[in-house]
Amino acid sequence: MSRQEPIQLFEEYIQKLTNDLDLDDIEISEIEEEWKQHLYDHYEVLIKQGVESSKAVSIVIEQFGEIEMLQNEVNHTYPSSVRNHVQKEILIAMVCLIACITGPWLLIGAHFDISFILAPMQALVIAYLIYRFIIKRQTYWLFSIVGSILLYLVFLKFFTRFYGEPLTFNVYISHLFSLEWDRLTGSNGLFEIVTIHMMWYITIASQIMSKDQFIPLWQRISNTTFHYWAMVIIAIFVARFQSSAEWAVLFMNVFLLYVFLQQTLSNKTVLITKQKLSRFTI
């Protein structure tokens, strides 16, 4: 068996190892490449020694180490990444809270209400759990492409709910792009058809401009698109179970902002921003 030939057990083992690492996507990709190198190298040595292929795979995995032990070692080796992850989540939460507190007043002149804090805080917890432990774990490119298409078709089904009109070609085209503020915001805050599309374009652009060389661009775009539209659909679904229209709108906006910022901000970007602000305040 050649080194380039995929070994399913190795792939599954690496996937389990990286599932619960508190690292940036780029760092995880680097670690995956390094670990695969070690696994395949050890495997080839055993094959040359006359060990049968399936037995060689089992020996390599057993000697490489237990999954939980390796995860703890990596997370302790990269403490800065864990800290950057926490800082990124705090930054996203702050942006979402500020938007939910000031947005209703700026857009419709609503007076402050405690729900402007309580609703987004609950939405942030739900969004974090769903994104981190379910949505983000989907990285298989083919599933992402097919899933994105299906999710987008479901999204279009909600069109009449937002505007109460049939989805004709001309109407659809008119909601794909706009720079007019009155069209980008409305009674649903930022959760307007055209704004959702515009934010999606920005997430794709952020992947194109990313310096990540470990994951092919088309795979990053397909995964980003799936993550984005999955959270949008979940936002619509979760909003239906809220006690009032105001809470529903706040939930949808938090989910939209959360996934948008997750896709456009990397841990490295947060770190660089923090360093620049630190120099500015000194």
d(CA 240, CA 2): 53
Q: What is the DSSP letter of 189?
A: B
d(CA 259, CA 229): 9
d(CA 91, CA 120): 14
Averaged over successive runs of 10 residues, the pLDDT of the chain (282 residues) comes to 60 82 71 81 86 86 84 70 80 95 88 94 97 88 95 89 78 91 89 95 93 74 96 96 94 97 79 57 50
Closest alpha carbon to 83 in 22, 20, 27: 22
pLDDT at 271: 59
Under a CB-based contact definition with an 8 Å cutoff, are residues 198 and 184 in contact?
Answer: yes
DSSP per residue over 9-76, as a string?
A: HHHHHHHHHHTT--S-HHHHHHHHHHHHHHHHHHHHHHHHTT--HHHHHHHHHHHH--HHHHHHHHHH
d(CA 7, CA 15): 13
pLDDT at 269: 64
pLDDT at 94: 96
d(CA 202, CA 222): 14
Under a CB-based contact definition with an 8 Å cutoff, are residues 123 and 235 in contact?
Answer: no
pTM: 0.76
pLDDT at 213: 56
pLDDT at 40: 84
pLDDT at 140: 84
Q: Give the residue carrying structure tokens 């094959």.
A: 47
pLDDT at 227: 97
pLDDT at 272: 61
Contacts of 138 (CB under 8 A, 6+ apart): 144, 147, 223, 226, 227, 230
